[in-house]
Amino acid sequence: MDAMEQRRNLIVDLVNQSGNISFAQLKKKIPQISEMTLRTDLKALDEAKRIVRVHGGAKSVDVVIGTDDMLSRRLVRNIEAKQLIIQKALKLIRKDTTIFLDSGSTTTALASCIPDQSNLIYTNSLTCAVELCKLMNPKVHVLGGSINQYSMSICGIHAIQDILRINFNQVFMGVTSYCEQTGFSCGVDEEAVLKKAVMNQAEQSIILMDSTKVGVKSTYTICELSDVDIIISDDNLPEEFLEDCKKYKVQVI
């Protein structure tokens, strides 16, 4: 590993530790490098999507996208758990219904397996849309709005306006985390607002969540456990969480 790579790895570590750090703070922590070199490094790391440059400093990718990694990396994580969740979810999809598919690696995998049948499908996920384009029979709509290039999703006021005029039979929702204190949550404010709006328009709200997300906190609450109808997960959910699901009459599959 050469000196430049070591230096840039150090910068990424410092940004990740702080979540949000100013240029001046970085310069103070690495006084041995010049301001010009630091600016060059920040630009290169931003282009490599290892950090996110902002005015006056940098942010961790985790903070910006509200997840533990970029979507391209999440797609190859916990593959066995995702496949189990997908097989369970497919059994719930009914023909001739209106469905919303949320963004995320699990919903993208679900989109790739949805049967080629008559459904009206809405999504805010560009990766889900690509998978759904392979089907002939469903009618697919992509929400308009602002694109998050890290999660490949769409959110914002225009997306909310689209949602408020639609009544969904089923919503398949991804979440970043769940804990008793904060409920289901994610790390991006606009995405949390969109998820809430979708669930308010849904006859049946279905959460797709592997067991590793239980007991984890994120910044923005989407909903409480009592707001959910069904949770589809792997077979490793904590017993205490399962008891809470029974308490609120949430079906766990």
Higher pLDDT, 22 or 167: 167
User: Of 29, 28, 88, 23, whose CA–CA distance to 51 is shortest?
Assistant: 23
**pLDDT tens digits, one per residue of 131-176:** 999 999 999 999 999 888 777 889 899 999 999 999 999 999 988 8
Please report the pLDDT score of residue 1 as a whole number.
61
Please report the pLDDT score of residue 3 as a whole number.
83
Please state at what angle helix 35-47 crosses helix 3-18, rounded to 10 degrees.
80
Residues 10-20: what's their mean pLDDT?
A: 79
| pLDDT tier for residue 64 given thresholds of 50, 70 and 90 | low
- What backbone torsions phi and psi does residue 214 show, to the nearest 5 degrees? -80, 135
**pLDDT tens digits, one per residue of 167-221:** 999 999 988 889 999 999 887 788 899 999 999 999 999 999 988 888 877 778 9
Distance CA 123, CA 172 (A): 10
Distance CA 93, CA 234 (A): 18
Residues 102-122: what's their mean pLDDT?
A: 94
Asked if residues 115 and 87 have their Cβ atoms less than 8 Å apart, the reply is no
| pLDDT tier for residue 76 given thresholds of 50, 70 and 90 | very low
Q: Scan for tokens 């639609």, then name that residue.
A: 166
Residues 96-117: what's their mean pLDDT?
A: 94
Asked if residues 128 and 108 have their Cβ atoms less than 8 Å apart, the reply is yes
- What is this structure's pTM? 0.71
Asked if residues 60 and 54 have their Cβ atoms less than 8 Å apart, the reply is no
Higher pLDDT, 173 or 76: 173
Residues 50-66: what's their mean pLDDT?
A: 73
